[in-house]
Amino acid sequence: MITTKGLTKVYRSRGREVTALHGVDLHVREGEVFGVVGTSGAGKSTLIRCVNLLERPTSGTVTVDGVELTALPGDEQRAGRELREARRRIGMVFQHFNLLASRTVQQNVELPLEIIGLDRTQRRRKAAELLDLVGLADKARSYPSQLSGGQKQRVGIARALAGDPKVLLSDEATSALDPETTRSVLKLLRDLNRQLGLTVLLITHEMDVIKTVCDSAALMRGGRVVESGALTDLLADNSSRLARDLFPLGDFASGHPGRTVLEITFQGDTPAQPFVSQLARTYQIDINILGAAVETIAGRMVGRMRVELPGAHADNVVPIGYLREQGLQVDVLDFDANGAAA
Amino acid sequence: MTWDQMQQLMWPATWETLGMVGIATLATLAVGLPLGLLLVLTDKGGLLQNPAVARVLGVVVNVGRSVPFVILIVALIPFTRWVTGTSLGWQAASVPLAVGAIPFFARLVETSVREVEPGLVEALQAMGASTATIVRKTLLPEALPALIASLTTTVIALIGYSAMAGTVGGGGLGNLAITYGYQRFETGFMWVIVAELVIIVTALQLLGDLTARRLSHRGEHAGPLALLRTATAKPGARDQDPVSSH
Ligand SMILES: Nc1ncnc2c1ncn2[C@@H]1O[C@H](COP(=O)(O)OP(=O)(O)OP(=O)(O)O)[C@@H](O)[C@H]1O
Ligand SMILES: [Mg+2]
């Protein structure tokens, strides 16, 4: 649905150059919620602003819903007609809501419809529908200054949906909100994604946001995407930095020689409990549980457990094989290599 | 000098002042508003970014603002004559008034429009709005309270300048005050005229403030005024007024 190829953005100001994006390739599939995380200054905002060309990439292409936006005429300040039309199919929500203070909630939601050129009756009907959808039907005549942050963002979302977009872009939409409001706004996004088949690309710096709503994620660092993929795939990959951040088990400090430390990850229907006791019973070994966590990620239950078995790795080949047979993902933490778990 | 005599002199002079200020205000709005907008739009990073035009407009406005008003009146005599067919009377006085107020107002418009959140412009761009739409639906409406305040300041400045224009053959209250108060030593009459000017200026300022606050929905003015409005509104009327006012 959204594809970027070799996206590069260089900012030039007063002779200084800042490369905010170094050849970013991103692929967001239709109907998924895709999250981008990364530290401040990693280029997340630049990336999302390049998707609807609020920022013109220095090089590279952006394709949204089959239209190569970077091929459409216009410059950063003035978009050509075709680009403007393409943008009407891409909704955007902002960290600071960006609602017009001079307009009521309803008039704010009607704004994109005015731009599209719908008549008054159609606009009213559509705005009422959308406000209903985001649970703000009773606030239609309020002004943004009379709303709470969460309510403002709901208006922002309703407004972004007015043009029946296929894609919704969200740059830190919940960063100005408290945890509880964040949760309800995220749930709304998730519901909209399910109900309307909306493809969502969201930027966040909170791993929790990724965990709660995303199907896929990308990690950015220094203007590059260093890791990306479906969360379920990432979690199955022991080398995934993102998975580790998503699902931390604490640091693995040191192990004892003559002992084997395993990290066991189980997803979905794999029985969460019995395997430890089964393993202990079948092989008559004492299992020491070092840490465990169970979470719901991308709508699926995922658990990770760190256990210690007596004996060196070579002594435990059979029990490890047994666990893998159960459909569990097992990684042997090698404490000889320094900081193996990091 | 009796009150009757005073009144006979004051009424026509009042109309002359209001006439020259009124016409000058209309002309200032018609030229100064687009000029102020262009100052913002053509500036670096603006929607119509154009360094050459921006520089020319900036110079024109600065020159216009630095020429002393008295000199402007004299220098503009040929232009005034060409526009109004005469260089005397309140109609003629409105020409230099407008020319003097346009750059002043344009700068105020510029400041007001710059105060509009860049994020709002961006939101409109993301919706696929054209530059004209962005100006019409965001920049102007969002800046409206500030624009009203700017207009109030300009009109009041125009009243002040109208006294000067009046003395150079324009008539009006300022002229009256000077002819009678200064040249004929009718100090009492002069103070009456000054009082009238104070009343006019105060009324205009009040009207401007009220309008600006009425149009501002930012919530920062939800003080005594808003309470007053709620208290005096008929039941249910308050719910409707945001809609009917747009
Ligand atoms: N308009 C600009 N002019 C110059 N440099 C810019 C501009 N916008 C962003 N940058 C630079 O580009 C880099 C990436 O910025 P960006 O805003 O995309 O980061 P971010 O990942 O969104 O960070 P944050 O989490 O703090 O929002 C930064 O080094 C920033 O200083
Ligand atoms: Mg950012």
pLDDT band, very low/low/confident/very high, at B244 (cuts 50, 70, 90): very low
Where do the structural domains in chain A lie, given as residue ranges? 247-332
Taking residues B63-68, report their average pLDDT: 91
**Shortest Cα distance, chain A CAs vs residue B6, angstroms:** 46
pLDDT of residue A295: 76
Query: Any residues with CB less than 8 A from the CB of A23 and at least 6 apart, and which?
Result: A6, A7, A8, A60, A224
- A72 Cβ inside 6 Å of ligand 1: no
φ/ψ bin of A124: left (φ > 0), alpha (ψ from -120 to 50), beta (otherwise): alpha
Using the predicted structure, report yes or no on whether residue A315 has a pLDDT greater than 90. Answer: no
d(CA B116, CA B112): 7
Q: How many CB atoms lie within 10 A of CB B246?
A: 11
Contact indicator for A226, A220 with CB cutoff of 8 Å: yes
Ligand 2: centre distance to CA B143 (Å): 27
Q: Which two tokens stand for residue B127?
A: 């919706």
Contact indicator for A307, A261 with CB cutoff of 8 Å: yes
Tell me the percentage of chain B whose pLDDT exceeds 70. Answer: 89
d(CA B148, CA A264): 68
pLDDT band, very low/low/confident/very high, at B232 (cuts 50, 70, 90): very low
Taking residues A266-280, report their average pLDDT: 72
Which residue of B lies nearest to A143 if distances are taken between CA atoms?
B217
Helix (H, G, I), strand (E, B) or coil at B213: helix
Chain B neighbours among A 43-102 (CB < 8 Å)? 52, 54, 77-79, 83-88, 90, 92, 94, 96, 98, 100-102
Using the predicted structure, report yes or no on whether residue B129 has a pLDDT greater than 90. Answer: yes
Q: Can you list the domains of chain B with their CATH numbers?
A: 19-230 (1.10.3720.10)
Of A9, A12, A21, A44, best ligand 1 pocket probe by most atoms within 8 Å of the beta carbon: A44
CATH fold of A247-332 reads Alpha-Beta Plaits (3.30.70)
- A43 Cβ inside 6 Å of ligand 1: yes
CA B186 and chain centroid, separation: 32
pLDDT of residue B144: 95
Burial of residue B211 (CB within 10 Å: 0-12, 13-18, 19+) is middle
Q: What is the number of the ligand 1 atom nearest to the C-alpha of A9? A: 12
pLDDT of residue A338: 40
Chain B neighbours among A 103-122 (CB < 8 Å)? 103-104, 107, 111-112, 114-115
Between residues A90 and A336, the one the model is more confident about? A90
Contact indicator for A171, A48 with CB cutoff of 8 Å: yes
Q: How many CB atoms lie within 10 A of CB B174?
A: 25
d(CA A68, CA A58): 15
Taking residues B88-116, report their average pLDDT: 94
Subunit contact A107:B127, Cβ cutoff 8 A: no
**Shortest Cα distance, chain A CAs vs residue B241, angstroms:** 10
d(CA A125, CA A127): 6
Q: Which ligand has the minimum distance to the alpha carbon of residue A42?
A: 1
Of A18, A47, A77, A94, best ligand 1 pocket probe by most atoms within 8 Å of the beta carbon: A18
Contact indicator for A216, A230 with CB cutoff of 8 Å: yes
pLDDT of residue B106: 97
Which of A81, A100, A102, A108 to probe the B interface (max B CBs under 10 A)? A102
Taking residues B148-174, report their average pLDDT: 89
Percent of residues in chain A assigned helix, strand, coil, to nearest 5: 35, 30, 35
Where does chain A show beta strands of DSSP type E? 2-13, 16-28, 33-38, 59-64, 67-68, 90-93, 167-171, 199-203, 216-221, 224-230, 259-267, 288-297, 300-310, 329-333
Q: How many CB atoms lie within 10 A of CB B141?
A: 20
Between residues B231 and A152, the one the model is more confident about? A152
Block residue for tokens 């159960």 = A326
Contact indicator for A131, A106 with CB cutoff of 8 Å: yes
**Shortest Cα distance, chain A CAs vs residue B231, angstroms:** 18
Using the predicted structure, report yes or no on whether residue B230 has a pLDDT greater than 50. Answer: no
d(CA A78, CA B118): 15
Facing residue for B128 by CB, picked from A77, A78, A85:
A85
Using the predicted structure, report yes or no on whether residue B16 has a pLDDT greater than 80. Answer: yes
Using the predicted structure, report yes or no on whether residue B69 has a pLDDT greater than 50. Answer: yes
Subunit contact A54:B119, Cβ cutoff 8 A: no
Q: For B169-217, how does the pLDDT look when each residue is reduced to its tens digit (9 = 90+)?
A: 788 898 888 888 878 888 888 899 989 999 999 999 999 999 999 888 7
d(CA B246, CA B241): 9
Using the predicted structure, report yes or no on whether residue A199 has a pLDDT greater than 50. Answer: yes
Q: Which two tokens stand for residue B242?
A: 């945001």
Q: Identify the DSSP state of A79.
A: B
Tell me the percentage of chain B whose pLDDT exceeds 90. Answer: 59
Q: Does the structure's ipTM exceed the value 0.90?
A: no
- A44 Cβ inside 6 Å of ligand 1: yes
Block residue for tokens 């009109």 = B155
Q: What is the number of the ligand 1 atom nearest to the C-alpha of A12? A: 4
Block residue for tokens 């995407």 = A225
Contacts of A146 in chain B (CB under 8 A): 219
CA A171 and chain centroid, separation: 11
Residue nearest atom 24 in ligand 1 by C-alpha distance: A40
Using the predicted structure, report yes or no on whether residue B242 has a pLDDT greater than 70. Answer: no
Percent of residues in chain B assigned helix, strand, coil, to nearest 5: 85, 0, 15
Q: What distances in angstroms separate CA B234 from CA A7, B43, B203, B214, one per listed residue?
A: 59, 47, 26, 17
pLDDT band, very low/low/confident/very high, at B98 (cuts 50, 70, 90): very high
Ligand 1: centre distance to CA A89 (Å): 26
Which amino acid is located at B35 in the chain? L
Ligand 1: centre distance to CA A227 (Å): 20
**Shortest Cα distance, chain B CAs vs residue A191, angstroms:** 22
d(CA B91, CA B114): 34
Using the predicted structure, report yes or no on whether residue A299 has a pLDDT greater than 90. Answer: no
Mean of per-residue pLDDT scores for chain B: 86
| Model pTM score | 0.82
pLDDT of residue A160: 95
Contacts 24+ apart (CB under 8 A), A321-327: A322/A279, A322/A282, A322/A283, A323/A262, A323/A264, A323/A275, A323/A279, A326/A270, A326/A271, A326/A275, A327/A266, A327/A270
Out of A273-287, A292-306, A318-332, pick the least confident.
A292-306
- Name the interface residues of B facing A (CB cutoff 8 Å): 45-49, 117, 119-120, 122-131, 133, 137-138, 141-142, 144, 215-219, 222, 239, 242-243, 246
d(CA A108, CA B230): 24
Contacts of A86 in chain B (CB under 8 A): 128
A:B CB pairs within 8 Å: 85
Facing residue for A84 by CB, picked from B49, B119, B128:
B128
Ligand 1: centre distance to CA A20 (Å): 6
Query: Which of A254-258, A289-293, A324-328, B159-163 ranks highest by mean pLDDT?
Result: B159-163
d(CA B33, CA B113): 10
Between residues A324 and B236, the one the model is more confident about? A324
Contact indicator for A183, A212 with CB cutoff of 8 Å: yes
Block residue for tokens 């309510």 = A151
Query: Any residues with CB less than 8 A from the CB of B43 and at least 6 apart, and which?
Result: B49, B54
Helix (H, G, I), strand (E, B) or coil at A1: coil
d(CA A293, CA A332): 18
pLDDT of residue B227: 46
Nearest to residue B147, comparing CAs of B230, B75, B47, B40?
B40
pLDDT of residue A289: 85
pLDDT of residue A216: 94
Residue nearest atom 30 in ligand 1 by C-alpha distance: A41
**Shortest Cα distance, chain A CAs vs residue B31, angstroms:** 24
pLDDT band, very low/low/confident/very high, at A61 (cuts 50, 70, 90): very high
pLDDT of residue A135: 92
d(CA A281, CA A301): 26
Ligand 2: centre distance to CA B42 (Å): 27
Mean of per-residue pLDDT scores for chain A: 87
